[in-house]
Chains A and B, each alone.
Chain A
Amino acid sequence: MRVVIADDAVLVRAGVVHLLTTSGVDVVAECGDAATLIKAVALEDPDVAVIDIRMPPTYTDEGIIAARHVREIYPRTSVLVLSQYLQPLYARRLMADSPGHTGYLLKEKVHDIEVLLSAMERVVAGSCVVDDSIVKTILGHRDHLGSLASLTDREAEVLALMARGLSNSAMAAELTLSAKTVEMLVSAVFRKLNLDQSSDVNRRVLAVLEALTR
């Protein structure tokens, strides 16, 4: 896997590069801002760009803007955005047009190389990845969140797994349930949240994000 890392914090960038390199990942470029990132993606054609959400010059949402630009101009390159904010709305903005090959991960998880590699592999494979901390936080609050309050605990678990981009079979394995049961739970979730039922996993993630951020 060929990776471009974009983060203005030198220490963090060096640490991620070291961890990925020792894990056998080919880090083809390191960047400190969004402009350099775009140039590096154009030049190196990586499989995935790992991008910090806040970069120069304004340190607000340059990472999201750059990630959407990369997805639009260089569709072969997947993006994984790292953020220190537990912001489901940022994730929704990132995935609004094209949820596939896109991921939103909390930066504090980068030291866990297994989590980082897993997220990178899934976005390269075309999945939509959302940090489960975001979903858990919102669902933990679901009692008073409109239609989410109508979900049972099991349905909330299924919703959280859907937000992570898991397929029905993956959810069945995770929850140790039959595929049929998972299908029924997924249908119930979509019905209660009034979501468009889709077999496309990534569309399901986006739909879930939209529901969670209403």
Chain B
Amino acid sequence: MTLPAVVVGTGVLARAIVMGAVLLMLSWSLDLGWVQRPVGGLATPGWEAIWILAGVTVVVLALIVPGADVGRVWLVALAVVGWVGPLLAAVPGASPSLRLVSLAVAPVLPAALVALVLYGDLRTTRFPRALVATLVGSAIFARGVFYDPLLDPGCSRYCLPGSGWWTSTDQPRTRLVLAGIVTMSVLALLAGRAISRSPVRPWMAVSALTAAVLALVPWWASSWPSPARADDIVALAVLAVVVPVAIVVGTATLRRSAARRMAESLLAASPLPDQLRELERADDLTPALRLAIDNARLEAAALDQIEELRRSRTRIVQASDAERRRLGRELHDTVQQRVVGALLQLRIAADEEPNAERRACLLTVLDQVGGTLPHLRGLSERSAPPVVESDGLAAAVRQRAADLPGLRVVATEGSEPPPLRTSRAAFIIVDMLLESALPTPSASELGITVTAEAVRICVRGPGVTMTELLLDRVAASDGIVSEDRVDDVNRIEVRLPCGS
């Protein structure tokens, strides 16, 4: 049963709130002294950002383990960074630049936790992504605004003195803006990952870049000879983070949109097997399952197209055969008749011609014209042999082979003749074999075997060769053709089912 979207969204929201609260409460209860001491040892002034960057790099490299669910691992890594970062700021004597960095990375913790809790929904559902993104953004923003590491160096994660955010830095607006930048960056990363569905590397690269810039820019600004203005820092962060992220996301979106539009147009024209239509309407399909459904749709469409191509090829062949018979009838009914009529008129003219020379000329013309009749007769009979219909395939084949002295013909017929269409197709194939595949008739043999199921045609002899036209013609009649060599003699065998 498909639940209404509002119900699904409400369920997601409720779960996020409950799970997020549980995780944050768990983080409150931890004794952070065993973490803070070694972390504090790393917080040598001037090297804080380097350590953070190194830590991020290690985490990124660790994510390249094959088979890992990269999304979840990355979110865990982000949560750790968001958790450890502020601890560096709480180390006594930490430099202002380190504190500024901690302001940048601190909001990542709640964002990562919320995203981790909702990770399954993020990957399977559609509309709640906007809701999840809103939750993540809100969490990041609230964290960035309300958390001050100097007031809460690690004992309690969430003290919410209202004035905290005014006092922790000389540039409250910077803090606010940096929190906003991180929010946008994380949202963009999540959106880019969702849109591109892809190879992790671009996403990881952008994530690493974001973390590095967020760590380095404030640290670098703090080393300027003159105090950096808040606007400068913000501008640098925006340029260094937001612009590349926007480019990556925009490119992925455009690529994905073009691919999606093409896929959607293909899918719109493609039939879907009945048993998958009901499943397709479900709202809780994973991307993998949806891809499988799309593949099934495309496969069904491809099979339909193949079947249509096969039917089209058969229609073309039947039309060609019908045209061939028409030509044969035309040759017989029209051309031959006219030639015979012309012969008669020439004969009459020759008989009535008093001049001996002219009479001889007319008789010569008569002989030449008369000489065309056997050729016309052969063409007509080969195009539309009436004997196929009147006396059967074997008789037609024997008559056709009579033009090739020396060719041995062996014909075996069953009690029932094959369908006329099969006989005609078989005769055409025999004609093609004798015309193009048999260079030396005198040393060759043609065999025809007719049974209730099929017509078998076998030709063997020196130099017997298959041609592409023969292959196509047999395939168009749903037949099978094989070629082999027996006793140093080539052989071609064709089998036509009697239903063809």
Contact surface of A with B, Cβ cutoff 8 Å: 9, 11-12, 14-16, 18-19, 22, 54, 59-61, 84-87, 89-90, 107-108, 110-113, 137-138, 140-141, 143-144, 213
Q: A54 contacts B332, CB within 8 Å?
A: yes
5 A-B contact pairs sorted by A residue (CB < 8 Å): A22-B348, A22-B351, A89-B390, A143-B408, A144-B410
Smallest Cβ distance from A133 to chain B, in angstroms? 9
Specify which of B337, B346, B370, B381 is in contact with A12 (CB 8 Å cutoff): B337
Please report the number of residue pairs spanning A and B whose Cβ atoms sit closer than 8 angstroms: 96
Given contacts A85-B377, A85-B381, contact A11 B344 (CB under 8 A): yes
Task: Flag whether B420 is at the interface (Cβ < 8 A).
Answer: no
Q: B340 contacts A108, CB within 8 Å?
A: yes
With a cutoff of 8 Å between Cβ atoms, the chain B residues found around residue A113 in the complex are 347
Task: Flag whether B405 is at the interface (Cβ < 8 A).
Answer: yes
Q: A19 contacts B333, CB within 8 Å?
A: no
For A90, the closest partner residue in chain B by CB is B390
Task: Flag whether B124 is at the interface (Cβ < 8 A).
Answer: no
Task: Flag whether B343 is at the interface (Cβ < 8 A).
Answer: yes
User: Bound state CA distance, A11 and B347, in angstroms?
Assistant: 13
For A60, the closest partner residue in chain B by CB is B386
Given contacts A15-B347, A111-B346, contact A141 B341 (CB under 8 A): no
| B residues 390-441 touching A (CB-CB < 8 Å) | 390-391, 395, 398-399, 401-402, 405-410
Q: B341 contacts A143, CB within 8 Å?
A: no
With a cutoff of 8 Å between Cβ atoms, the chain B residues found around residue A9 in the complex are 337, 340-341
Task: Flag whether B198 is at the interface (Cβ < 8 A).
Answer: no
Q: A138 contacts B409, CB within 8 Å?
A: no
CB 8 Å contact bits of B14-45 with A (1 = contact, 0 = none): 00000000000000000000000000000000
User: Bound state CA distance, A87 and B366, in angstroms?
Assistant: 24
With a cutoff of 8 Å between Cβ atoms, the chain B residues found around residue A138 in the complex are 402
For B446, the closest partner residue in chain A by CB is A144
Q: A61 contacts B407, CB within 8 Å?
A: no
Interface residues contributed by chain B, number (CB under 8 Å): 38
With a cutoff of 8 Å between Cβ atoms, the chain A residues found around residue B410 in the complex are 144
Q: A59-B333, A111-B343 are in contact. List 18 more A-B contacts (CB 8 A).
A: A9-B341, A11-B342, A12-B340, A12-B344, A15-B343, A15-B344, A15-B345, A16-B344, A60-B390, A84-B377, A84-B380, A85-B386, A89-B391, A108-B377, A141-B398, A141-B402, A143-B408, A144-B408
Pick from A11, A140, A141, A143 the residue with the most CB of B within 10 Å: A141
CB 8 Å contact bits of B381-392 with A (1 = contact, 0 = none): 100001100110
For A140, the closest partner residue in chain B by CB is B405
User: Bound state CA distance, A15 and B395, in angstroms?
Assistant: 34
User: Bound state CA distance, A138 and B398, in angstroms?
Assistant: 9
User: Bound state CA distance, A110 and B387, in angstroms?
Assistant: 23
Pick from B336, B399, B405, B408 the residue with the most CB of A within 10 Å: B399
Smallest Cβ distance from A81 to chain B, in angstroms? 14
Q: B348 contacts A15, CB within 8 Å?
A: yes
With a cutoff of 8 Å between Cβ atoms, the chain A residues found around residue B408 in the complex are 143-144
With a cutoff of 8 Å between Cβ atoms, the chain B residues found around residue A213 in the complex are 395
Smallest Cβ distance from B399 to chain A, in angstroms? 8
With a cutoff of 8 Å between Cβ atoms, the chain A residues found around residue B390 in the complex are 60-61, 89-90
Q: A144 contacts B332, CB within 8 Å?
A: no
Q: A18 contacts B348, CB within 8 Å?
A: yes
